[in-house]
C-alpha cells in the first residue's frame, strides 16, 4: 500500500503546496460497512487545506482518482477517505506474491538469537505452569526463526540445590529402594513423590517442635530433616561419592521422565546447561566489577552494587563468606552463554515473579559495560492459577503436565470417534490424530492469550474443541485438504488466468492472507505467539465463511474461476499449516 502513501503525499503537495512526511499519512483498512478497501485519515491535513475534513477528503479523493490508476472510486465519511482499489491490483498481488513459492518463507536477517526456556527443577514432575513456559518458549523461538533469525534454543536445568536433596533424603529414608521399574512410575513422578513425602514429614517435625514451645521460625530451622538435607547439600558440594551417586541416579530418572513429556509437548533444545556446572560461575564477573568500581565491598567482605540511581535498590552480588547467590550465577552464566554463541539477542522465558531479578541482572551487565547487554530480554509471562489459587507442588495442588496431556488426547479421541469420520484410519494413524488434536487444543488454549496476562485454568471445565480453538483451525485445514484432493488440484503457473470480478469474501481472503508475513514479523518482534494465534483464527474463520458462500468449487464449470478459487484454498491451507507449525501445532490432512 506504499503507492497510496506516496500518491497522497503528492496530492498534498499539488493541492496545498505542502511537503509532508510519509509517517504523517495514516492509512488503515476500510471498515466493512463502507465501500472501499483502503482508508486515508484526512484529519492531519486540514491544517494545510484550511477546509473541513469532508472537503479535504474530497479534494484528495479526486486527485487520487485522476492520478492513480488503481484507485477506481472513493467516498468520504467524516474525516475518512475510503478508496476502492481495482480488482486487478489484488489479483496481481495474489498471483505474484501470495502464490510465489517463497511466500511466507523466512529470509535470513543474519542475526542470532538465543531463547532460554523450560529450565526445570529436577525434583518434581512438570505441571501446567511449566507447560505454558515450554510452549511459549518453543513458539517464540519458532517465530523468531520464521522472522529470519538464526535461533539457539537453550535449557538451563536446575539440577542441584536443597530442593533436590529433599527428594533424595526422603527416598533414602522411606523409599525402600523403589525405582521407576519396580514401581511402574515415570521417573520424574517417582522423585516428585518423595519431594512431597519430605514436605509432609518435615511439617510433622515442625509441629512437634512448636508443640515443645519453639517458635515456628526456629522450628523450621531446627527440624532434624532440614538439617539433614543441608548436610547432604554440603556433602554434595564436597564431592561425597555416595551422595553424588544417588544424585546422578535420581536425576537420571527425572531426565527420562522429562524426555517423555518434552516429546509429547513437541519441544526441543539445541543445548542444555546444568546448574551443577554453572553454580560457581560469576565470581570472575564480580572481580571485574570490583576492579571497575561498579561493585563495592562492605566491611564484612560482602560485595554489593548500588542501583538506586536506576530506580532499583542495593543488591548483594557475593556473600561475605565468598559464596554465590542467585544473581552471581546468572551473571556468570550470561557471560558463558555469550562466549559460547556470540548471539545478538538473548531471550529468557521466565515467569513474572522474577521481573525484579532480571531488571537487576540486565542493569548490572549494562553497568559492567557488556556490549551485548542491550540484546538481553526477559520474556515475562503470567502465572497459571487454579480457581483455588496458586499451584504448589509440595502440597500436591497442581495440574500435572502428563495427566493433562493424557486427558486432552482422550477427549480428542472421544470427540473424533463420535463424529465417525476416520473409520478407515489405521490404529497408528488414529493415535497420531488424537495426539495432534488433543495437543493442538491444549497448545492453542495456552498460546492464544497474551503472555504477560495471568491465566486461570479451571480443571473442572474441559478445554474447548469448538470456536476459537486449535481444533477449529486444524479442522479448517483438513477440510481444505480434502477439497483440494477431490479436485485433483495441482499448482500450475499457466492456471493463473482468472481476471474477472472478485467476490467480496474472495477479496477479503486475499487481503487477509497477504498480511501473513507482516503478522509473523509483528508477533516475533512483540515476542507474542498470541498475535499469530489470533490471526490464524481470523483466517480460518473467514475461510469457512468463504466456503459456505461460494457455490461448490469442484462443480464450477468456468475452469479459470475454479482454478482461481482452488488457489485461494491452497494459499489458505499453506498459511494455516505454516502458522500453526510456528505455534508447535500439527495440522492433520484429515480429521
At its nearest, how many Å lie between RNA and the CB of residue 405? Answer: 16
At its nearest, how many Å lie between RNA and the CB of residue 352? Answer: 6
At its nearest, how many Å lie between RNA and the CB of residue 525? Answer: 9
For 166, 200, 205, 229, the CA distances from 216, given in Å and listed in that order, are: 20, 16, 11, 19
Q: Which is nearer to RNA, 228 or 464 (CB)?
A: 464
Cα 24 to Cα 284: distance, rounded to the nearest angstrom: 51
Q: Which is nearer to RNA, 32 or 492 (CB)?
A: 32
Cα 61 to Cα 74: distance, rounded to the nearest angstrom: 6
Q: Which is nearer to RNA, 113 or 540 (CB)?
A: 540
Q: Which is nearer to RNA, 204 or 454 (CB)?
A: 454
At its nearest, how many Å lie between RNA and the CB of residue 549? Answer: 7
Q: Which is nearer to RNA, 12 or 185 (CB)?
A: 12
User: What is the grid cell recorded at 584?
Assistant: 508447535
Q: Which is nearer to RNA, 81 or 401 (CB)?
A: 81
Q: Which of 318, 323, 328 is nearest to 298 (CA)?
A: 318
Q: Which residue has the cell 498471483?
A: 95
Q: Give the distance from CA 74 to its chain's centroid.
A: 41
Residue 218 exposure: Cα atoms within 13 Å on the Cβ side: 8
At its nearest, how many Å lie between RNA and the CB of residue 197? Answer: 20
Q: Can you name the residues that pair with 83 across neighbouring β-strands?
A: 38, 74
Q: Which of 23, 42, 39 is nearest to 31 (CA)?
A: 39
At its nearest, how many Å lie between RNA and the CB of residue 119? Answer: 9
Q: Which is nearer to RNA, 185 or 360 (CB)?
A: 360
Q: What is the DSSP letter of 392?
A: B
Q: Which is nearer to RNA, 203 or 359 (CB)?
A: 359
Question: CA end-to-end span of the chain, whole Å?
Answer: 38
At its nearest, how many Å lie between RNA and the CB of residue 212? Answer: 25
CB 447 within 8 A of CB 533: yes
Cα 55 to Cα 50: distance, rounded to the nearest angstrom: 10
At its nearest, how many Å lie between RNA and the CB of residue 371? Answer: 26
Measured at the alpha carbon of residue 282, what is the angle toward residues 306 and 353, in degrees to the nearest 5? Answer: 65
Q: Which of 97, 80, 94, 87 is nearest to 40 (CA)?
A: 80
Q: Which is nearer to RNA, 35 or 208 (CB)?
A: 35
At its nearest, how many Å lie between RNA and the CB of residue 122? Answer: 11
Residue 60 exposure: Cα atoms within 13 Å on the Cβ side: 36
Amino acid at each position: 500500500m506504499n503507492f497510496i502513501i506516496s500518491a497522497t503525499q503528492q496530492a498534498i503537495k499539488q493541492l496545498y503546496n505542502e511537503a509532508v512526511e510519509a509517517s504523517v499519512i495514516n492509512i488503515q483498512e476500510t471498515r466493512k460497512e463502507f465501500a472501499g478497501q483502503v482508508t486515508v485519515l484526512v484529519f492531519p491535513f486540514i491544517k494545510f487545506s484550511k477546509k473541513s475534513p469532508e472537503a479535504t477528503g474530497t479534494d484528495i479523493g479526486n486527485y487520487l482518482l485522476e492520478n492513480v490508476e488503481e484507485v477506481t472510486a472513493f467516498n468520504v465519511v467524516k474525516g475518512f477517505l475510503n478508496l476502492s482499489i481495482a480488482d486487478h491490483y489484488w489479483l496481481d498481488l495474489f498471483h505474484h506474491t501470495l502464490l510465489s513459492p517463497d511466500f511466507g518463507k523466512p529470509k535470513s536477517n543474519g542475526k542470532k538469537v538465543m531463547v532460554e526456556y523450560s529450565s526445570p527443577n529436577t525434583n518434581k514432575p512438570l505441571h501446567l505452569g511449566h507447560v505454558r513456559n515450554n510452549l511459549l518458549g518453543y513458539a517464540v523461538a519458532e517465530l523468531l526463526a520464521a522472522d529470519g533469525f538464526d535461533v539457539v534454543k537453550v535449557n538451563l536445568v536446575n539440577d542441584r540445590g536443597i530442593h533436590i536433596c529433599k527428594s533424595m533424603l526422603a527416598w533414602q529414608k522411606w523409599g525402600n529402594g523403589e525405582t521407576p521399574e519396580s514401581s511402574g512410575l515415570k521417573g520424574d513422578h517417582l522423585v516428585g513423590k518423595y519431594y512431597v513425602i519430605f514436605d509432609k514429614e518435615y511439617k510433622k517435625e515442625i509441629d512437634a517442635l512448636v508443640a515443645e514451645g519453639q517458635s515456628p521460625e526456629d522450628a523450621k530451622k531446627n527440624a532434624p530433616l532440614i538439617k539433614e538435607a543441608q548436610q547432604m547439600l554440603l556433602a554434595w558440594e564436597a564431592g561425597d561419592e555416595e551422595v553424588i551417586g544417588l544424585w546422578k541416579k535420581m536425576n537420571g530418572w527425572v531426565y527420562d521422565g522429562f524426555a517423555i513429556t518434552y516429546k509429547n509437548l513437541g519441544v526441543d533444545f539445541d543445548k542444555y546447561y546444568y546448574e551443577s556446572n554453572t553454580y560457581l560461575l560469576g565470581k570472575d564477573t564480580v572481580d571485574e566489577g570490583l576492579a571497575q568500581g561498579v561493585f563495592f565491598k562492605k566491611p564484612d567482605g560482602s560485595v554489593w552494587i548500588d542501583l538506586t540511581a536506576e530506580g532499583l535498590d542495593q543488591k548483594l552480588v557475593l556473600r561475605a563468606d565468598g559464596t554465590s547467590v542467585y544473581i552471581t550465577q546468572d551473571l556468570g552464566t550470561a557471560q558463558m552463554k555469550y562466549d559460547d554463541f556470540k548471539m545478538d539477542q538473548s531471550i529468557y522465558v521466565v515467569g513474572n515473579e522474577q521481573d525484579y531479578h532480571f531488571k537487576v541482572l540486565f542493569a548490572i551487565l549494562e553497568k559492567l559495560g557488556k556490549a551485548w547487554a542491550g540484546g538481553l530480554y526477559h520474556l515475562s509471562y503470567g502465572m497459571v492459577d487454579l480457581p483455588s489459587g496458586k499451584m504448589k507442588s509440595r502440597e500436591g495442588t497442581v495440574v500435572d503436565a502428563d495427566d493433562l496431556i493424557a486427558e486432552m488426547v482422550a477427549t480428542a479421541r472421544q470427540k473424533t470417534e463420535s463424529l465417525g469420520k476416520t473409520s478407515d484410519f489405521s490404529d497408528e494413524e488414529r493415535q497420531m490424530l488424537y495426539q495432534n488434536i488433543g495437543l493442538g487444543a491444549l497448545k492453542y488454549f495456552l498460546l492464544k492469550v497474551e503472555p504477560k496476562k495471568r491465566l486461570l485454568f479451571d480443571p473442572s471445565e474441559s478445554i474447548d474443541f469448538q470456536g476459537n480453538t486449535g481444533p477449529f483451525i486444524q479442522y479448517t485445514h483438513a477440510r481444505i485438504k480434502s477439497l483440494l484432493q477431490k479436485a485433483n488440484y495441482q499448482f500450475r503457473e499457466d492456471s493463473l488466468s482468472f481476471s474477472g470480478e472478485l467476490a467480496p469474501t474472495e477479496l477479503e481472503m486475499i487481503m487477509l492472507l497477504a498480511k501473513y508475513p507482516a503478522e509473523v514479523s509483528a508477533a516475533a518482534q512483540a515476542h507474542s505467539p498470541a498475535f499469530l494465534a489470533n490471526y490464524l483464527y481470523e483466517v480460518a474463520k473467514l475461510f469457512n465463511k468463504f466456503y459456505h458462500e461460494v457455490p461448490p468449487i469442484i462443480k464450477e464449470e468456468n475452469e479459470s474461476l475454479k482454478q482461481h478459487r482452488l488457489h485461494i484454498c491452497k494459499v489458505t491451507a499453506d498459511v494455516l499449516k505454516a502458522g500453526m507449525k510456528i505455534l508447535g501445532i500439527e495440522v492433520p490432512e484429515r480429521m
